[in-house]
Amino acid sequence: MKINDVDFETYLKNYPTKDGYFGKYGGSFISDDLKKAFKEINDAYLTICKSAKFISELRRIRKEFQGRPTPLYHCERLSQSVGSGKVQIYLKREDLNHTGAHKLNHCMGEGLLAKYLGKKKIIAETGAGQHGVALATAAAYFGLECEIHMGIVDVRKQAPNVARMKVLGAKVIEVTDGEGTLKEAVDSAFISYSKQYKDAIYCIGSVVGPHPFPMIVRDFQSVVGIEAREQFLEMTGELPDVITACVGGGSNSAGLFIPFLNDPVKIVGVEAFGKGKDANSASITYGSEGVLHGFNSIMLKDEKGNPGLAYSIASGLDYPSVGPEHAFLYDIGRISYEGITDEEAIDAFFKLSRLEGIIPALESSHAVAYAIKLAGQMDHGSILVNLSGRGDKDLDYVIEKYGKKYIM
Ligand SMILES: *Cc1c(COP(=O)(O)O)cnc(C)c1O
């Protein structure tokens, strides 16, 4: 399949380019010191990703430690309850991956890469703490030191995740500069890494950041779409009509989407519309081109053109930019992006819990909500949703805020 001169049959060979570009998006806007360090990671990755030993070791870890392949599940009761009742909704169960979300898919890959590079330590930042927990898990598995930079405001808000990281043996560095949130944590982690890159590796939490991370994380997450495509064909004998996933930085969605790019399948990313136009994290819908955290993409901006504040009820979605590959695939028209509000996500959270016995993460609830909305507008067909994570982490908040409305 070809769109606007982009040939999807050979897509993975050509995107990103050697310098990390997807069209005009991506690249590497960082200091020379960091460039040198990231080039080492890039070169090692390009060698290792073709090594039979690396691939078979990663396959073993995925099976024995992570519990892959995760199941594909047909939501019969949910499907019957929507619109004509004839549109079939399926879930790729990443919530059943060890630690309860898709993030471990790339963290275990990054950990194995660190091992092959002979590094002793993993350095990263975290916002809500989900990436920090997944990485601390990988570090424990591989016997690596783990240093997680986290804004002081986030440390206070996300106490359970801070506790998890510490139990797993990670060192949590509280960043007090500026606003004390993710942006400062990224700066702090970059600085720490540039001082010790001979012994350490930097690991990013989504398909964002400077080259080669959008490529590496995409490749490690692609296991989701490769499995789901095979499982869907086996279960139904066909490909799905529509596939969808929530988009924060864009890793779980890229993981599902990329293996379907060359198929006659409609692909929809779901951004968080939050409370509407004035408080959301819909970078593609409301943003414009700009550089943030070392890469060029489509980002939210304030009136002065500085990075805007992102908001969503789902802390994993409130990132003010998006992976460069999403910006590119949106520009050329291969993927479309829709928005789901906080309220719609909460509704889907309870629907899936009560009709199927699956409590989804608030992030994933956005994708479920979109599938429900779309199913209501179709006569027949099938929709495959990436259920990126489980909702246990969100229960306290949901009960406190929405208990009165939904629970008798
Ligand atoms: C972090 C997270 C997300 C958002 O990140 P992406 O990189 O966009 O996938 C989505 N769902 C869950 C469960 C998460 O933990």
User: Based on the number of CB atoms within 10 Å of its own CB, is 354 exposed (0-12), middle (13-18) or buried (19 or more)?
Assistant: middle
Residue-wise pLDDT tens digits, 247-272: 999 999 999 999 999 999 999 999 99
- Compute, in angstroms, the gap from residue 369 CA to the centroid of ligand 1: 16
Residue-wise pLDDT tens digits, 189-246: 999 998 999 999 999 999 999 999 999 999 999 999 999 999 999 999 999 999 999 9
Which residue's CA is the closest to the ligand 1 atom numbered 3? 316
Percent of the chain, pLDDT > 70? 100
Which atom of ligand 1 is closest in space to residue 206's alpha carbon? 7
- Compute, in angstroms, the gap from residue 363 CA to the centroid of ligand 1: 6
Residue-wise pLDDT tens digits, 87-97: 999 999 999 99
Label residue 407 by pLDDT band (50, 70, 90). Answer: confident
User: The CATH number of 67-100+221-406 is which of 3.40.50.1100, 3.40.630.30, 3.40.50.2000, 3.40.50.720?
Assistant: 3.40.50.1100
Number of Cβ within 10 Å of residue 60's Cβ equals 10
DSSP 3-state assignment of 24?
coil
Question: Which residue among 70, 92, 252 has the greatest number of ligand 1 atoms within 8 angstroms of its CB, and so is best to mutate?
Answer: 252
Model pLDDT, residue 157: 85
Residue-wise pLDDT tens digits, 279-318: 999 999 999 999 999 999 999 999 999 999 999 999 899 9
User: The CATH number of 31-62+103-218 is which of 3.40.720.10, 3.40.50.300, 3.40.50.1100, 3.30.420.40?
Assistant: 3.40.50.1100
Model pLDDT, residue 183: 83
Which residue's CA is the closest to the ligand 1 atom numbered 10? 363
Residue-wise pLDDT tens digits, 25-78: 999 999 998 999 999 999 999 999 999 999 999 999 999 999 999 999 999 999
Which residue's CA is the closest to the ligand 1 atom numbered 7? 251
Whether the predicted pLDDT of 408 surpasses 80: no
Known catalytic residues? 75, 102
Global pTM reads 0.97
Model pLDDT, residue 158: 87
Round the CA-based radius of gyration of the chain to a whole number and report it: 20
Which atom of ligand 1 is closest in space to residue 128's alpha carbon? 1
Model pLDDT, residue 179: 85
Model pLDDT, residue 178: 87
Which residue's CA is the closest to the ligand 1 atom numbered 5? 248
Which atom of ligand 1 is closest in space to residue 130's alpha carbon? 15
Model pLDDT, residue 128: 87
Percent of the chain, pLDDT > 90? 92
- Compute, in angstroms, the gap from residue 5 CA to the centroid of ligand 1: 31
Which residue's CA is the closest to the ligand 1 atom numbered 2? 316
Q: Quick one: which of 227, 232, 216 has its CA closest to 73?
A: 232
Whether the predicted pLDDT of 100 surpasses 90: yes
CATH 3.40.50.1100 maps onto the chain at 31-62+103-218, 67-100+221-406
Average pLDDT of every residue of the chain:
96
- Compute, in angstroms, the gap from residue 298 CA to the centroid of ligand 1: 18
Query: What residues line ligand 1, using a CB cutoff of 6 Å?
Result: 101, 103, 130, 206, 246-253, 316-317, 361, 363-364, 388-389
- Compute, in angstroms, the gap from residue 316 CA to the centroid of ligand 1: 5
Residue that is written with structure tokens 């092959």 in the block: 116
Measured distance CA(290)–CA(322) in Å, rounded: 11
Average pLDDT over residues 131-140: 97
The 3 state secondary structure assigned to 61-125 is: HHHHHHCCCCCEEEEHHHHHCCCCCCEEEEEEEHHHCHHHECHHHHHHHHHHHHHHCCCCEEEEE
Residue-wise pLDDT tens digits, 141-191: 999 999 999 999 889 988 999 999 999 999 999 999 988 888 889 889 999
Which atom of ligand 1 is closest in space to residue 361's alpha carbon? 13
Whether the predicted pLDDT of 390 surpasses 80: yes
